[in-house]
Structure 1
Amino acid sequence: MTTLTVWKFDSPAGAQEALNKLIELSKQHLVQINDAAIVSWEEGKKKPKTHNYGSMTGQAALSGAFWGMLFGLIFFVPFFGMAVGAVTGALTGKFADYGINDNFIKEVREQVTEGTSALFVMTSGAVQDRVAEAFKGVSAQLIESNLTSEQEAQLIEDFGG
């Protein structure tokens, strides 16, 4: 099963540090990174910076279009208000088809704020106890949305990288 996980860190650099650790774990075959993206929000900035890393082992599972739409929905739509209400409704409905529901979007929006960062990562095949051990002592909040195999297939079909 593929897991779409968002890890929120209390510093703008925390997500990059976590991704570096995940890359090391993937080299040990303890987790497969299917795709990854980072949001880093410096203090005093109006909006966060985003970066799509793709897969650590080859072609990304998802394209930049997916990450762009997801990040736009989470972080930028609130700035535009009702002017984009109909489009927002259609997008959130489509993301729900992929297992990314309104609660997931709302929770990420509320938790990832100025002075923080977030690692968005699609993984599979994790050796849970070994990955958990590697992240022991790391201060992060976890927001998780497990994807069914059907949702994963649809997501890759629609947004494959």
Structure 2
Amino acid sequence: MSDLLVIAFNDETSGFELRAELVKLQSEYLIKLEDAVVVTRPAADDIQLHQTLNLTAAGAVGGTFWGTLVGLLFLNPLVGAAVGAGSGALAGYLTDYGINDDFMREVGNKVTPGGSAVFLLVREMTGDKVLDRISDFHSRGRVIQTSLSNEDEEKLREALAGTQSPLVPEDAKGAVTK
């Protein structure tokens, strides 16, 4: 089961920086993301979604391929490619993969104007290593909403506030290692 995390920032740049860092961590196999979307709010009544995957373009490419293949079978590959690209683009545009867009717009209203929020759908994560690697975001971000347990959500809030080291378990505080 995947977990939803929504982290807000007072500026737009921090949201994009966090998403870029998490994508980098994914390439290092420290986190598995199903979706990562940056929501910006340039003005009080304007909410913009910046998806990582452009489904319209992906649908057009896939449709072009399959349309050309079908067109070759019927000896008209150009018509097949055009029809395939159009139908693939339409299918991609109508598809909502990952986090629901309406939900992101609704929660995006909690973001301060000029700020951003990062919506993450996390399948798996090596928590201590990920929190350590995103330490540059301490005291810049705040947790708006999660589907984590209360204990894990509190650890995330503390890590973003920079009040507790995410690498030291509660029972190991004060312990001396040899």
What secondary structure, in the 3-state scheme, does the structure 1 residue paired with 2:26 have? helix
Amino acid at match of 1:36: A
Displacement after TM superposition at 1:68 (Å) = 2.3
Aligned to 2:5: 5
Q: Deviations 1:81-108 (Å, cap 9, x if unpaired)? A: xxxxxxxxxxxxxxxxxxxxxxxx5xx6
Q: Which runs of 5+ in 1 are unaligned?
A: 56-61, 75-104, 148-161
Aligned to 2:121: 122
State the alpha-carbon separation in 2 of the partners of residues 46 and 64 from structure 1.
25
What secondary structure, in the 3-state scheme, does the structure 1 residue paired with 2:129 have? helix
State the alpha-carbon separation in 2 of the partners of residues 66 and 135 from structure 1.
22
Displacement after TM superposition at 1:39 (Å) = 0.6
State the alpha-carbon separation in 1 of the partners of residues 99 and 9 from structure 2.
22
CA contact (8 A) 2:3 2:122 kept: yes
Amino acid at match of 2:2: T
State the alpha-carbon separation in 1 of the partners of residues 126 and 98 from structure 2.
30
State the alpha-carbon separation in 2 of the partners of residues 65 and 30 from structure 1.
20
Q: Which runs of 5+ in 2 are unaligned?
A: 55-94, 150-178
Amino acid at match of 1:127: T
Q: Which has the larger radius of gyration?
A: 2
State the alpha-carbon separation in 2 of the partners of residues 120 and 15 from structure 1.
9
Distance change >3 Å, CA 65–CA 121, structure 1 → 2: closer
State the alpha-carbon separation in 1 of the partners of residues 98 and 33 from structure 2.
19
CA contact (8 A) 2:104 2:119 kept: no
Moved over 6 A (4+): none
TM-score by length of 2: 0.52
State the alpha-carbon separation in 1 of the partners of residues 148 and 49 from structure 2.
22
Are 2:141 and 1:140 aligned? yes
Displacement after TM superposition at 1:45 (Å) = 5.2
CA contact (8 A) 1:38 1:52 kept: yes
- The count of aligned residue pairs is 107
State the alpha-carbon separation in 2 of the partners of residues 36 and 53 from structure 1.
6
User: Aligned residues: percent identity?
Assistant: 20
Superposed counterparts of 1:77-88, under 5 Å: none
Q: RMSD in angstroms over aligned alpha carbons?
A: 2.7
2:102 to 69, 79, 83: 69
Amino acid at match of 1:50: L
Displacement after TM superposition at 1:54 (Å) = 4.0
CA contact (8 A) 2:10 2:112 kept: no
CA contact (8 A) 1:34 1:54 kept: no
